[in-house]
Amino acid sequence: MFSKKESMLAYGLAVCLLVTGVVSYAAFPLKAPEEPLRIMFNVEAGKVLFDHKIHTVEEGYGLSCEDCHHELLDGESDEAQACGECHDPEEGDEEVPKRADAFHQQCAGCHEDYEAGPVEEECTLCHIL
Amino acid sequence: MLEKRDLLEQQTPLEQKKLIVSHAPFYHSGRRVTERSYHTMLAALPALLLGFYHYGMPAISVVCLSISTAIFWELAFNLVAKRTITIGDGNAALLGLLFAMLLPATTPWWAVITGTFIAVVVGKQIFGGIGSNAFNPVALAIAIMMVSYKELFDFDTALLNYDLEFATIYPLKAAKYFGTASLDSFNLVDLFLGRQLGGIGATFGLGLMLGGIYLMLRGFIRWEISLTFLAGVYLAAFVFNLFDPVRFAGPGIHLLTGYTLIGAFFLATEDSSSPVNIIPMLVYGAAGGIMVVLIRNIGAYVDGVVLAILVINLLSPLLDKIRPEALGKVM
């Protein structure tokens, strides 16, 4: 039905691409950068995509790490930690507010101060509902 | 045969003979399915190369694994069903390639293998192989995967770790959830040149269009389907945008983002699941285009191209009932 050439081409493609695929899957996985570029928060109120890079680079909003990662300022840590390490998604108190409150305070608070970006009253500007 | 048909076309209606029957031996035009498959893959290459450029090795891994596993699934099915080995026709490789082009570059290996199984075995082979499938196998595979593993097709999450030099938010999602104001960072030229998030080979409008034109000129796909599909998208998006420009994106965005162009040139035109007569092809394409915008704008899914194509695939046999009246009558 098919010429030998056609069959050989299909077998050749299948084998060569399988080897290339398996090797490149194993050897070249995409590594997450040390400093996050964007972060997707999967929360009940709808996902929030936070562009970390645009907030930190000079051409963006030029914030320094300490502006948000207050643990650096307080000397609690030498390296910036992920917010969720202390701010629990479920529980919080006055000392350590729960994650959602901390974010709303941090993000919306800063946006209001600078009169830029989405504010807390407009949920759908951040949350994908 | 061909010469006689040409002659027939040159004749005026009065001169035309009603029925021409020639007897054996016939000659073969020389065109084979194999040629068609590999030329379609060739036409998809420009769009694919830009995907490799943007997403690097992970994209190459997905495409290689997808093509090879699609061929192996077809071979395995042929062997199990004790049928002729059909991988030589290149169609399985083509399905693998098109499937991979719609995926994000970070798709895990198991999803690629599952997807190619659905495309080749469930989408094509169980219907009887090439030419017998009611649905486009690639659209079917993507739709099943999209419904089963919704997270895999969240391009914003899948491509979080890519530092690209353009706006890194999936345009259709921005349009759907944040309204047209969120689309200010996109311009149509950038979108056309593939500077947007999306599937590995689905974002480069110029490349897809060049591939589509090549396939049309070679006669591998029908312009009637592609152009009416795009016209359907344009018109429906235009009407929605006219109705509420704050909520619904304009036609340019709908044409150049998501799977629109790859759908118009590479998916909707698949032969066994699309009509064969001219008027049905026009209706088929236009219905698909309109459906895409309806799903995007008022449906639950961010991108409706694969679902719209499945719907028109379903309509296809019905549409083919619209055909020229048969000559003569039965006494």
pLDDT of residue B18: 65
Q: Which residues of A touch B169 (CB under 8 A)?
A: 49
Q: What's the burial of B281, exposed, middle or buried (CB within 10 Å: 0-12/13-18/19+)? A: buried
Q: Distance between CA B319 and CA B284 in Å, rounded?
A: 7
Q: Which residues of chain B fall short of a pLDDT of 70?
A: 1-18, 331
Choose among A2, A24, A37: nearest Cβ to B163: A37
Greater pLDDT, A71 or B155: B155
Rounded mean pLDDT, A81-93: 81
Rounded mean pLDDT, A93-117: 83
What 3-state class would DSSP assign to A51? strand
Residue A116: alpha-carbon gap to chain centroid: 21
pLDDT of residue B214: 96
Look at the domain B33-162+169-319 and name its fold: Ammonium transporter fold (1.10.3430)
Q: Which residues of A touch B105 (CB under 8 A)?
A: 30
Rounded mean pLDDT, A3-14: 91
Report the chain A residue with the minimal C-alpha distance to residue B72. A14
Report DSSP state, residue A83: G
Question: A20 pLDDT exceeds 90?
Answer: yes
Contact: A6, B90; criterion CB under 8 Å: yes
Residue A40, strand partner residues = A49
Greater pLDDT, A112 or B222: B222
pLDDT of residue B7: 55
Q: What is the pLDDT of residues B80-117, one digit of tens each?
A: 999 999 999 999 999 999 999 999 999 999 999 999 99
What mean pLDDT value characterizes chain A?
85
Q: Distance between CA B256 and CA B252 in Å, rounded?
A: 6
Choose among B168, B173, B178: nearest Cβ to A125: B178
Report the chain B residue with the minimal C-alpha distance to residue A47. B157
- Residue A67 CB coordination number (10 Å): 15
**Tokens read off for A28:** 């070249």
C-alpha distance from residue B185 to each of B160, B168, B169, B303 (Å) = 18, 10, 10, 20
pLDDT of residue B1: 46
Q: Which residues of B touch A52 (CB under 8 A)?
A: none
pLDDT of residue B4: 55
Rounded mean pLDDT, A61-77: 81
HSE of B20 in the Cβ direction (CA atoms, 13 Å)? 13
Residue ranges per domain, chain B? 33-162+169-319
Over pLDDT 90: what percentage of chain A? 16
**Omega before B25 cis (within 30°)?**
yes
> A54: Cβ–Cβ under 8 A, 6 or more apart, which residues?
A60, A61
**pLDDT tier at A21, thresholds 50, 70, 90:** very high
Q: What is the CA radius of gyration of chain B?
A: 21
Choose among A17, A31, A47: nearest Cβ to B68: A17
- Residue B302 CB coordination number (10 Å): 22
ipTM of the complex: 0.88
Which of A 13-72 lie inside 8 A of B, CB atoms? 13-18, 20-22, 24-25, 28-33, 36-40, 47, 49, 51, 53
